[in-house]
């Protein structure tokens, strides 16, 4: 595309790419070091049951506490980690950390809620995934029913038969599986019913403009109805307003996640929410 715009533009694009490459290389080096130095943190965001208004789960979301650049959001380093295979040790670290933290909270007497952990395409494709998950469950002592693994539609669609067998392996270990960002990928509905999953997460792009946008309202409504007819649980992501929540409640959406309840929080702050939850339940 840069070429079509003439020679000058092409050269600019070209040198821009060099800068980008250098920066990328630096970031890749930084990522490696960050793994050794444990510069990553896991934040937690509550998942709320819409009917009861109780917290019934949380999503683990990684952050990078960079020594010079400060806190970096996952959107800025997960794609690079994915390209460089660093996602495998990073993803394992997140899983181990989130499982250990959840078990600690359970043992401390907080409500026994489950934890959702994002799996990257690369992790999901590893033949050793189930063995790794088993090892982490054993090491941390968390019961598998409290662990939910989130995978995106595109991950499942590259090789559907293989994806189904991986999902079955995980399911047979007792874990839950959710499809993340549902609606943004290309999953075929005929496969969806074959997937051994429990939950669909409606992508936040369909939630953002409900109830005003008629297309998004129709999509959200249809996804909820379809999930229920397949006996799946539905979570809406990115819920920020009471109006959105009301819309979802009227359509019997099961759970929500979003700033309306809380942003993702570091351990100490999330613990305050768990404390409140405990008091509400008494």
Cβ distance to Mg ion smaller for residue 115 or 273: 115
Nearest of 110, 120, 171 to residue 145 by alpha carbon: 171
How many other β-carbons are positioned within 10 Å of the β-carbon of residue 141? 12
Considering only CA atoms, which of 124, 104, 102 is closest in space to residue 55?
102
Contact status, residue 132 vs residue 126, Cβ threshold 8 Å? yes
Angle between helices 87-107 and 129-140 (to 10 degrees): 30
Closest approach of ligand C2E to the CB of residue 80, in Å = 12
Angle at 63 between CA 149 and CA 50, to 5 degrees: 50
Among 232, 238, 248, 256, binds ligand C2E (CB under 6 A): 238
* Residues 174-193 close enough to bind Mg ion by CB under 5 A: 180-181
Is 118 a binding residue for Mg ion by CB under 5 A? The answer is: yes
Query: Could you give the string, one character per residue 49-68, with x where binding to ligand C2E holds by CB under 6 A and - elsewhere?
Result: ------------xx------
Which of 82, 161, 158 has its CA nearest to residue 122?
Answer: 82
**β-strands 255-256, 40-49: how paired?**
antiparallel
Binding mask 24-53 for ligand C2E (x = CB under 6 A): ---------------------x--------
Q: Residues 164 to 183: which contact ligand C2E by CB under 6 A?
A: 180-181
Min separation Cβ 217 and ligand C2E, Å: 18
Q: Is 209 in the site for ligand C2E (CB under 6 A)?
A: no
Where does this chain touch ligand C2E (CB under 6 A) — which range of 1-9, 13-21, 101-109, 235-243?
A: 235-243
């Amino acid at each position: 595309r840069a070429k079509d715009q003439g020679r000058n533009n092409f050269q600019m694009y070209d040198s821009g790419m060099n800068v980008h490459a250098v920066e990328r290389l630096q970031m890749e080096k930084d990522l490696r070091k960050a793994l050794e130095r444990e510069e990553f943190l896991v934040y937690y965001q509550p998942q709320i049951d819409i009917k009861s208004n109780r917290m019934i789960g949380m999503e683990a979301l990684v952050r990078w506490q960079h020594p010079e650049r400060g806190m970096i959001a996952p959107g800025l380093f997960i794609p690079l980690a994915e390209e460089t295979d660093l996602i495998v040790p990073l993803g394992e670290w997140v899983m181990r950390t989130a499982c250990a933290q959840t078990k600690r909270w359970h043992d401390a007497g907080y409500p026994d809620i489950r934890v959702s952990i994002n799996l990257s395409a690369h992790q999901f494709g590893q033949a050793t995934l189930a063995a790794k998950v088993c090892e982490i469950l054993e090491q941390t002592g968390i019961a598998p029913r409290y662990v939910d693994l989130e995978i995106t539609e595109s991950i499942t669609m590259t090789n559907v038969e293989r994806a189904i067998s991986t999902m079955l392996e995980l399911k047979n270990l007792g874990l839950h599986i959710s499809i993340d960002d549902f609606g943004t990928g290309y999953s075929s509905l005929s496969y969806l019913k074959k997937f051994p999953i429990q939950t669909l997460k409606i992508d936040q792009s369909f939630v953002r403009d409900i109830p005003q946008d008629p297309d998004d309202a129709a999509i959200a409504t249809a996804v909820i109805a379809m999930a229920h007819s397949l006996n799946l649980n539905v979570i809406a992501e990115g819920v920020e307003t009471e109006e959105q929540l009301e819309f979802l409640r009227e359509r019997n959406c099961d759970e929500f996640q979003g700033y309306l309840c809380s942003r993702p929080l570091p351990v100490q702050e999330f613990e305050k929410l768990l404390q409140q939850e405990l008091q509400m339940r008494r």
